[in-house]
Amino acid sequence: MKNFFGSDPFMRLELEQRLAAGINLPDAERLSVSLPAVRSCVTGTSGPDPLAQRLVTAFVRPAVPMGMALGDVELRYWNRRLALAGRELSRAATAVARVWLDGHPALQWAGTCWFVTDKWAVTTRAVAQEIRHPGVKARVEQGGQSFAVVDVRTHDGSPINSLLAFLVLDGARQFINGWHTSERSGGKSGAVATIGYSARDSRTGDPLLDLVYERSFNQKCVAPGRLLKLSDDGFLTHDCAAVGNTAGAVIVDLATGHVVGLHISGALDGPGVGVAWSTIGQALRALGERTVVAAAELGADALERRGRNAEDYEGRQGYRSDFLGIDVPAPKAGPTIKDDVNTFTVGGKETTLLPYTHFSVCMSKARRMCRFTACNVEGGALQDIGRAGIPWRFDARFDEEFQAGDDLYRDNDLDRGHMVRRLDPVWGDDQAAQAANEDTFHFTNSCPQHKDLNQKTWNDLEDYVLRNAGEFRLKINVFTGPVFRADDPDYRDFQLPLDFWKVVVMVKDDGTLSATAYTLSQRDLVTGLEFVFSEFRTYQIRLRQVEEWTGLDFGELRNFDPKDALESAGGAVEIKGPQDIQL
């Protein structure tokens, strides 16, 4: 079997951590494969067990039935990518159907097709040959409806076209929003997925592989993998788990939801071969048909952007380092990230901190999201102001191109997660409080978070500290931001952070500072294992750990971390309530 780890070091690391923690692969018990056998297969320390090899293959290249929640995939590397692309994959899957053969001497079905218009579906020439078998009546079943195949159309304008066939169907199918298409595919990581019907193929099958993937057979499945090559001649190769006879499956870009092409043959035993969407579209047009292409919508954020200008932000003071009566500067970008930080001209001076009402934001050029936010919170002057009717907006003081807007958040399961908690800067007189409330609804203050994220403990941290801050409890400073890692998943031309950090600074009763650091993490900081995409836990950690993860320099503030000062404080501590916080 092929080694899939060459281009996926993070996937290998996750598997090694899992095995080191004594957790075997999901189907190992069912197939009587021991943990040592799987470990040997991964490390190559002894002759591999053939069944263990295939178990590892199925773990890193799953075929997930559409009836199963995409976010339940065991390998977290794919779990998060499939969860992110869930809506796009579900939409694409509605156009994917199975080709049934009535009257065929040997086959019940011949493969997969997918609708490109309301009456035309594309598949492979091999599938079409089975349809043309004498006495066969072919039909396509999709969405509870059955459509008879009344004609098979082909276009032989070039050698690659000899691999394609179009099925003409009776009756009209409701073809709602068409395909999103693009000439470039796979995102930065080349992550794609086939959507088609998996089936055991006795003519070419691998009995052990069939045993491992048998729970996926005879179902519409999503199989993630890598786009290996997209050639100028219209051919492509991939390594998705197109097991058995999955000819005709659609290939979808996980980062964008765009159609990449049509799966023809091969996969786990060598590169899967496919035909690029551009070639399919050309052949369709040559036959006198055109696909329905979904048009991009003009989002509310674009309309809002048109109505604002830089002058609207005059007078914003931003984060004040002297707010606590002791100078607490915002962190600075260290040498590893300083070239990635945006600079702005505010009041005639260059700065890396974009000021709003009672808070400031430092932006990443590459990620188009904030590296951190810095906020002053005056607990005794907080106002309870609602959020109804406030739109999310771009900041008109710098180019929209460097801000992650609704192109990232539209029509999926991502929420615009406030980095500065909405209520934290909402204090002072009515005018200042209202301005601060609205200022928190800038895309510069948001990072994508899954809609199911339960972050009550995370959001309550400021309240916990305020209630325990002694005579100076009315004021705190809060720094918040994402952890950017190289293996963050690609999605719609963005990389999405999976972990977040927060540093809360207060003045203790003795007049000295206390700076406590926390992380909202998908990783168990004790075992190193990762949770599912929407499961996070809050931990108190050392401030030095935040510096190591982020490349930020907190200067002297790191010396006021109680966890750093107390040898007995230990490592990461999960926070479930105020009693767990070390101040």
557: phi then psi, degrees, rounded to nearest 5: -60, -30
Same structural domain, 119 and 53: no
Please indicate, yes or no, if residue 38 is contained in any of the structural domains: yes
Long-range pairs of 305-313 with CB within 8 A, sequence gap ≥ 24: 305/393, 305/394, 305/396, 305/400, 308/393, 308/394, 308/396, 309/396, 310/396, 310/397, 312/396, 313/355, 313/356, 313/395, 313/396, 313/397
Same structural domain, 474 and 575: yes
Same structural domain, 308 and 360: yes
- Please say which residue of 124, 145, 169 terminates a domain: 169
Same structural domain, 372 and 426: yes
Check if the beta carbon of residue 47 is closer than 8 Å to that of residue 31. no
Over residues 250-273, the pLDDT tens digits come to 999 988 888 899 999 876 767 889
Please indicate, yes or no, if residue 304 is contained in any of the structural domains: yes
Please indicate, yes or no, if residue 214 is contained in any of the structural domains: no
Over residues 492-549, the pLDDT tens digits come to 888 888 889 999 999 888 889 999 999 887 655 444 444 444 456 788 899 999 999 9
- Residue at 232: amino acid letter: D
CATH of the domain at 105: 2.40.10.10
Same structural domain, 304 and 370: yes
- Please say which residue of 169, 186, 211 terminates a domain: 169
Same structural domain, 431 and 570: yes
* pLDDT score of 140: 92
Non-local CB neighbours of 522 within 8 Å, separated by 6+ positions: 76, 498, 499, 530, 531, 532, 533, 535, 536
455: phi then psi, degrees, rounded to nearest 5: -120, 35
Please indicate, yes or no, if residue 569 is contained in any of the structural domains: yes
- Please say which residue of 15, 45, 60 terminates a domain: 60
Instruction: Name the residue range of residue 543's domain.
Output: 300-580
Same structural domain, 50 and 103: no
Please indicate, yes or no, if residue 161 is contained in any of the structural domains: yes
Q: Pick from 97, 80, 88: which is nearest to 185 by CA?
A: 88
Over residues 376-435, the pLDDT tens digits come to 999 888 888 888 888 999 998 988 889 999 888 887 778 888 999 888 999 999 999 999
- Total tally of structural domains belonging to the chain: 3
Same structural domain, 28 and 99: no
Please indicate, yes or no, if residue 43 is contained in any of the structural domains: yes
Instruction: Give the burial string for 482-504 (b: 16+ CB within 10 Å, else e).
Output: bbbeeebbbbbebbbbbbbbbbb
Same structural domain, 130 and 25: no
> pTM of the predicted model, to two decimals?
0.74
Same structural domain, 388 and 308: yes
Please indicate, yes or no, if residue 403 is contained in any of the structural domains: yes
CA distance 264 to 274: 5
Tell me what the pLDDT averaged over the chain comes to.
Answer: 83
Same structural domain, 56 and 98: no
Non-local CB neighbours of 581 within 8 Å, separated by 6+ positions: 461, 464, 465, 468, 516, 540, 575
The more confident residue out of 413 and 166 is: 166
Mean predicted confidence (pLDDT) in 230-256: 86
Structure tokens of 516? 């406590």
- Across 82-91, 117-126, 294-303, least confident range: 294-303
CATH of the domain at 322: 3.40.570.10
- How far is the CA of 164 from the CAs of 109, 233, 254, 275, 430, in angstroms? 18, 14, 24, 8, 66
Q: Pick from 29, 2, 68, 31: which is nearest to 211 by CA?
A: 31
Same structural domain, 38 and 151: no
Please indicate, yes or no, if residue 178 is contained in any of the structural domains: no
Structure tokens of 393? 């907006």
Q: Kindly give the interhelix angle for 76-84 and 86-93, rounded to the nearest 10 degrees.
A: 70
